[in-house]
Amino acid sequence: MFKILKYTLSDLMRSKWVYIYTTFYLVLTTALFWLSNDLAKVIISLMNVVLVLSPLIAALFATLYHHQSREFTELLLAQPVRRTAIFLGQYFGVAMSMSVSLAAGLGVPFLFYGLLVSAQVWNFATLLLAGIALSLIFSALAFYVALRTENKIKGFSLTILIWLFFAVIYDGLFLLLLVLFNDYPLDNFALGASVLNPLNLSRMLILMKLDISALMSYSGAVFQRFLGTAAGIGVAAFCLAAWIAIPIFGIRKTALTKDF
Amino acid sequence: MIEIRNLKKSFKKNQVLNNLDLEISTPGIFAVLGPNGSGKTTLIKCILGMVLPDSGQILFDGIPVMHEWQYRRRISYLPQIARFPENLTVSELLHMIRDVRQQPSHEQEIIRMFELEPFIKSRLGTLSGGTRQKVNLVLTFMYDSPVIILDEPTAGLDPVALIALKELIHAERKNGKVILITTHVMSFVEELADEVVFLLDGRIRFKGSVNALKSRCGEDNLERAIARLLKGECIPDDNLSGADGQGSAFPKTAGSGLKSQHHV
Amino acid sequence: MKYLFIIWIFISTACQSKGESRVLEVGSDSPFTTIRQAVHAALPGDEVLVCPGIYKEGQIIIDKKISITGQDFPILDGQNKSEVLTIVCDSVSVTGLLIRNVGTSHIEDRAGIRVRKSGHFSICGNILSNTFFGIYLEHARDGLVENNEIQGEALQENTSGNAIHLWYCNNIRVDGNRVGGHRDGIYLEFVNNSLISGNVSRNNLRYGLHFMFSNEDNYFNNRFSGNGAGVAVMFSKKINMWDNVFEQNQGRASYGLLLKEIYDASIYRNTFTENTIGIHVEGCARVNYKHNDFLNNGWALKMAGGCLDNAFTANNFVSNTFDLSTGSFTETNGFDGNYWNDYTGYDLDKDNIGDVPYHPVKLFSYVVTQTPESIVLLHSVFVELINFSEKVSPLFTPANVADHHPLMHYINWEEIQQ
C-alpha cells in the first residue's frame, strides 16, 4: 500500500490542479491578512471557505483521479499486489495531496505573518485539522462512490450531491426541524444533529475555539459544556474518525468484490 | 499450466462467459479470437483475477486463483489501453512497477529494442499514443514470466516497433513461455500463432492450430475461415464446445465482429 | 517607641482639652486591648487607632462621631458568627481595616461594615474578605465609600450577599472600589443622586452592578467584567452611564447591560466587548446612545418590546455576530450615523456617509430569537444563503429598521472629545 501511495503522491504533487488549488489558498490567505489584521476574523473568513471548498475539491479531485487512472489501475491489478493495497494506496495518495495543499496554502502565509507567536495558533491548528479531516472524509466518500458507479457522469453528480447535502441541504432540513419543533426541548437534538454531520462538527469545533460570544447563549452553552470536556472532544474526534473509516471500509469491501 | 473449468460470468443480465473450459498445458503462442463481446477480455481478466467469475474454477499451476495475488508474479500482462499517471516520468514508472513486483527485470534491453532511450526522462502525459504503447510493452516484457498475456499488442505501433514486437514474441516462445494474445489482426495470428482459441457466445468453439482451422472450414484464408466459424458453419466439435453448435442461435454481435475483422 | 507614644498621648490629651480630638490606641501593648473598650471610652471627634493584630470581638457598634483607623491592616475577625462594624451615628470614618469572616446567615443580612440611618460617613481603603455582605448602607446619606477592596467567596446565589449594598440612600459616592466574588458587586435600591465611579466589579455570581428604583444617579468610568449576568439597571429614571467598560459577561442569560424600564437616560462612550448580549433593552424610553463601542459581542443590541424614542447615534458596531435583534420595533427608535463594520454599501460622493441604508437585523438573528437552538448553524453555508436572500428581498426582517446615514469609517470618539 505504501508503495502505491508513494507513487500516487509523487504523481499528484506534480499535478497542475494541485498547484492551482494550493495557490488559491495561498492567495486567499495572504489577501485576507492584507485586508484585515484581526487574526480571529481572518480565521472565520478562512473557515467559511475551507469548510465549503476543501470537501468539494477533495471529492471532485478523488473522482477525477479515479477515472483518470482507470487504465493504470487495471495494469496495477494485473501485478502481484493485493487489490486493497492498490485502492487504499491511491485513496491515501489523493487525500494526502489534498491535505498537503491545504496545509501549505494556509500555513505558509500564517507562518509568514508570525502566527506561531500569536495566541491564535491553536485556533489555526483547529481550522487546519478540521480542513484535513474534511479532505480525508470527502475524498474517501468520493472514492467509494466512484468505485461503485461505472458511469463517470453519474459518479460526479452523486459526489456533488453528497457534498451539497452535507454542506447545505442538511442544514436546511436541520433548521426546518428546529423551527417546526420549536416547542420541544431541542438541545440534545441540535447537539446530535451537529455531531453527525462532519461539516457542522468541524464548524462547531472551530467556533468554540474562537470563543464566539453569541455561542454562549442558551443553546451555545450546551455545546460549550459538551465540547469543552475531554469526553466531548473524544466523541467529536470519534465521529470524524468514523466518517473517515466508514467509506474506507466501503472502499476495501468494494475493491475486493468488484470486476475491472 | 492454466486450467479453466466451467467458468461462468455475467454482467447484470448479460451472460459473457458460459460454462467455459480451457486447458493450456504446453508452451506456445495462443491467439484468442472471437467477435467483439465474445468474452475474450473477460476471459483474460478472469485469469488475471481482475474479474471474479460467478462460478467455475481457474487453476494456475494447479492452484485456484480466486482471491490469490502471488501467482501474478508468474504472469506478464499487456493491457489494451496504455494510460499512465501523467506526471510521472518513464523511468519513475518503471521504477514503480519494479518496486511493486520486486523481481529481477531486464528493461534496458527492451528499451533499446523500442528505441525509447530519448523518452526515459519525459513525463508520461507528454508522450504520443504509440510511444506509450512501447512503454507498455517494456513493462510487460521486462520480466521473465512463464505466462505472457497480450491484449491487442499491435495497437498504435509503427512498422519498426511491430517487427521488434514479433521478434520479442518469437524469442519468448523459444524460451518455452505460454503466450496468450488477443488481436483483430489476422495476419499477426497467421504469422505467429501456434494455436487458435475461438470464442463465441461465452464458450470456446474451436481450439487447434491455424491449419486445422483452415482445413476444417475448407478455406485457405484464415479470415474467411473465421468468418465461417462466425456463421456457425463448421463449428460442431463436441470435444471442444461441450455443447451442440448447430442448434445454437447466432450471436447478435456476429455482424459487428466480422466488420471489425475486415479492417486489417 | 513607647516614649514617643507617651508624648503623643500627652499631646492628644492636651488637644482634647482644647476641644480637639484624642487618639485612642488599641493593641496588645496599648492602653486599650480591644476596640470595643476604645470605642466605649472615646468622645465625639476622637480617633481610635487600631494596631496590627487579630481582633475577635464580635459585633462592634459605633454610636459616636469618631474615626477608626487601622495601622497596617489590623484584622477584625467575625469568626463566621457575627457582623463586625455597625455604624449608627453621623460623621464616622473607617479606614485601613481588614475585616473578615462575617459568616453566612439565612436570617439576617450580616455585613462587614454596616451604616444605618446615618450620614457624612466615610469608609475608605479597607479590605473585606469573606464578609457575606461587604459594606451595607441602609437609609444612609451624604457618605463616601472609596477604594475598598471587597472579595467574597460566594458559591451560590441564594447563600451569598452583595459586596456594596445600598438601600434607601441619598447622595452617596461609591468610588474606586474593587469588588468580586459576591452575588452582586454593587447593589442599589431606592438610591438617588449618587455617583458610582471608577469601580471594578468582576466575577460576581449575578450582576456586577444592580440598580433598581433609583433616580438621577450617575455611573462613570466603571469596569464590569466576567460577571454571571452582567449589569442590570431597572425601573429608574435620569441615569447617566458614561465611559464604562462592560466585558466578557458570557452565559446563557448574560449581557453586558440590561436596561429595563429606564427613562430619560444617557449612555455615552461605553465599551461593550465580548458579551453574549451587549445591551438588552426592554421597555425603555427616551434613552440616548452615543459614541459607544460594541466589539465582538454575540448580539450588540437586543431590543424587546415597549421601546420608544430611543436614539442610537454615532456608535461603533464592530465584529458582532449580530448587530441587532428586535421583538417588536417601532419607527420611533432611530439609528442614525453609526458605523457598522458589516456594512457593504458604497460612498460615491466621498462624504464618509454610505449612500444606501444599512439594515442591522439579519434574518438569522430573527430565526435565532425564535428558535435559540438554531445558533448551532451559525456561519453555515445555508445560513449565509438565507441571510443573503433576505438582504436582497426582505420578507421577515423589518424593513424600517435602518440606519440611513451609515458611516464608512470607525468613529474615533476619543479624538472627537479632545
Q: Is B195 helix (H, G, I), strand (E, B) or coil?
A: strand
Alpha carbons A41 and A127: distance in angstroms, whole number = 13
Burial class (CB in 10 A: 0-12, 13-18, 19+), A139: buried
Residues from C in contact with A at Cβ < 8 Å: 250-254, 274-277, 296-299, 319, 321-322, 367-368, 370-385
Chain A residues closer than 8 Å to C253 by CB: 218
Query: Does C3 score more than 80 pLDDT?
Result: no
Query: Does C273 score more than 70 pLDDT?
Result: yes
- The H-or-E segment that residue A239 falls in is helix A230-257
Chain B residues closer than 8 Å to A10 by CB: 87-88, 92
Min distance A3 CA to chain C CA atoms (Å): 39
Query: Does C17 score more than 50 pLDDT?
Result: no
Dihedral sign, Cα of residue A198, residue A203, residue A204, residue A206: positive
Burial class (CB in 10 A: 0-12, 13-18, 19+), A104: middle
pLDDT recorded at residue B260: 38
C323 to chain A: nearest residue by CA? A214
Alpha carbons A158 and A61: distance in angstroms, whole number = 14
**For A32, which DSSP code?**
H
Name which of A12, A78, A257 is nearest B52 (Cβ-Cβ): A257
Terminal CA-CA length for chain A: 19
Query: Does C13 score more than 60 pLDDT?
Result: no
- Residue ranges of E strands in C257-379: 257-263, 266-268, 271-273, 277-282, 288-290, 293-295, 299-303, 311-313, 316-318, 322-326, 334-336, 339-340
Question: Would you call B99 and A7 a contact, using CB atoms and an 8 Å cutoff?
Answer: yes
Please state whether at least 3 CB pairs lie below 8 Å between chains A and C.
Answer: yes
Comparing CA positions, the residue from B217, B214, B216, B250 lying closest to residue B232 is B250
Min distance B82 CA to chain A CA atoms (Å): 7
- In this complex, which chains have at least 3 CB pairs below 8 Å with chain A? B, C
Question: Would you call B84 and A72 a contact, using CB atoms and an 8 Å cutoff?
Answer: yes
Estimate to the nearest angstrom the gap between the alpha carbon of C237 and the chain centroid: 17
pLDDT recorded at residue A144: 94
pLDDT band at C231 (very low <50, low <70, confident <90, very high): very high
Which residue intervals of chain B are DSSP H helices? 40-48, 90-101, 107-113, 129-141, 159-174, 186-192, 210-217, 222-230, 238-241, 254-262
Name which of C319, C370, C374 is nearest A41 (Cβ-Cβ): C319
Question: What's the pLDDT tens digit per position in C363-403?
Answer: 888 888 888 888 888 888 898 888 888 888 877 777 778 89
CA angle, corner B60, sides to B55 and B65, nearest 5? 45
pLDDT recorded at residue A115: 62
Interface test with A, best of B47, B72, B87 (most A CBs within 10 A): B87
Question: Would you call A79 and B100 a contact, using CB atoms and an 8 Å cutoff?
Answer: yes
Chain A residues closer than 8 Å to B145 by CB: none
The 10 Å CB-count burial string (b at 16+, else e) for C351-368 is eeebeebbbbbbbbbbbb
Task: Report the DSSP beta bridge partners of residue C173.
Answer: C144, C195
pLDDT band at B251 (very low <50, low <70, confident <90, very high): very low
Comparing CA positions, the residue from C294, C344, C319 lying closest to residue A38 is C319
- When pLDDT is averaged across residues A81-96 and rounded to a whole number, the result is 92
C377 to chain A: nearest residue by CA? A171
Amino acid, single-letter form, for residue B173: R
Query: Does A228 score more than 90 pLDDT?
Result: no
Residues from A in contact with B at Cβ < 8 Å: 3-4, 7-8, 10-12, 14-15, 68-72, 74-83, 256-257, 259-260
Question: Would you call B100 and A257 a contact, using CB atoms and an 8 Å cutoff?
Answer: no
Interface test with C, best of A173, A216, A224 (most C CBs within 10 A): A216
Cβ contacts of residue C321 below 8 Å, gap of 6+? A212, A213, A214, C297, C298, C299, C378
Task: Give the number of residues written for chain C.
Answer: 418
Which residue intervals of A149-186 are DSSP H helices? 152-164, 170-180
Question: What's the pLDDT tens digit per position in C80-93?
Answer: 988 999 999 999 99
Min distance B87 CA to chain A CA atoms (Å): 5
Q: Which position has the grid cell 496504455?
A: B82
Comparing CA positions, the residue from A250, A237, A177, A252 lying closest to residue A201 is A237
Chain A residues closer than 8 Å to B96 by CB: 3, 7
Name which of A78, A80, A81 is nearest B50 (Cβ-Cβ): A78
Determine contact, residues C298/A213, Cβ cutoff 8 Å. yes
pLDDT recorded at residue C331: 57
Comparing CA positions, the residue from C77, C82, C19, C27 lying closest to residue C50 is C27
- In this complex, which chains have at least 3 CB pairs below 8 Å with chain C? A
- In this complex, which chains have at least 3 CB pairs below 8 Å with chain B? A
Determine contact, residues A46/A106, Cβ cutoff 8 Å. yes
Question: Would you call A71 and B81 a contact, using CB atoms and an 8 Å cutoff?
Answer: yes
Min distance A240 CA to chain B CA atoms (Å): 31
Question: What's the pLDDT tens digit per position in B3-34?
Answer: 888 888 888 888 888 888 888 888 889 999 88
What is the interface size between A and C, counted as CB pairs within 8 Å? 103
Query: Does A156 score more than 50 pLDDT?
Result: yes
Please state whether at least 3 CB pairs lie below 8 Å between chains B and A.
Answer: yes
**For C407, which DSSP code?**
B
Min distance A207 CA to chain B CA atoms (Å): 39
C277 to chain A: nearest residue by CA? A214
Determine contact, residues A252/A84, Cβ cutoff 8 Å. yes
Query: Does A246 score more than 90 pLDDT?
Result: yes
Question: What's the pLDDT tens digit per position in A168-212?
Answer: 999 999 999 988 888 888 888 888 888 899 999 998 888 887 766
pLDDT band at C8 (very low <50, low <70, confident <90, very high): low
Question: Would you call B100 and A76 a contact, using CB atoms and an 8 Å cutoff?
Answer: yes
Which residue intervals of B70-146 are DSSP H helices? 90-101, 107-113, 129-141
Query: Does C5 score more than 60 pLDDT?
Result: no
Query: Does C119 score more than 80 pLDDT?
Result: yes
Alpha carbons A115 and B234: distance in angstroms, whole number = 81
Question: Would you call C376 and A52 a contact, using CB atoms and an 8 Å cutoff?
Answer: no
Q: Is C328 helix (H, G, I), strand (E, B) or coil?
A: coil
Question: What's the pLDDT tens digit per position in B100-123?
Answer: 888 888 888 889 888 899 999 999
Question: Would you call A182 and C371 a contact, using CB atoms and an 8 Å cutoff?
Answer: yes
Determine contact, residues A200/A170, Cβ cutoff 8 Å. yes
Paired sense of beta strands C271-273 and C245-247, if any: parallel
Burial class (CB in 10 A: 0-12, 13-18, 19+), A24: middle
Sheet with B14-24: list strands edge to edge.
B14-24, B2-11, B55-60, B63-64
Query: Does A118 score more than 80 pLDDT?
Result: no
Min distance A189 CA to chain C CA atoms (Å): 9
A70 to chain B: nearest residue by CA? B83
Min distance A86 CA to chain B CA atoms (Å): 10
Amino acid, single-letter form, for residue C189: E
Higher-pLDDT residue of C265, A123: C265
Q: Is C346 helix (H, G, I), strand (E, B) or coil?
A: coil
- When pLDDT is averaged across residues C237-254 and rounded to a whole number, the result is 90
Determine contact, residues B19/B5, Cβ cutoff 8 Å. no
Task: Give the number of residues written for chain A.
Answer: 260
Min distance A208 CA to chain B CA atoms (Å): 41
Chain C residues closer than 8 Å to A175 by CB: 367, 374, 377, 382-383
Terminal CA-CA length for chain B: 32
Alpha carbons C371 and C351: distance in angstroms, whole number = 40
Question: Would you call B92 and A15 a contact, using CB atoms and an 8 Å cutoff?
Answer: no
Question: What's the pLDDT tens digit per position in B119-153?
Answer: 999 999 899 888 998 999 999 999 888 999 998 88
Q: Residue A231: left (phi > 0), alpha (psi -120 to 50), or beta?
A: alpha
Dihedral sign, Cα of residue B233, residue B237, residue B240, residue B243: positive
What is the interface size between A and B, counted as CB pairs within 8 Å? 79
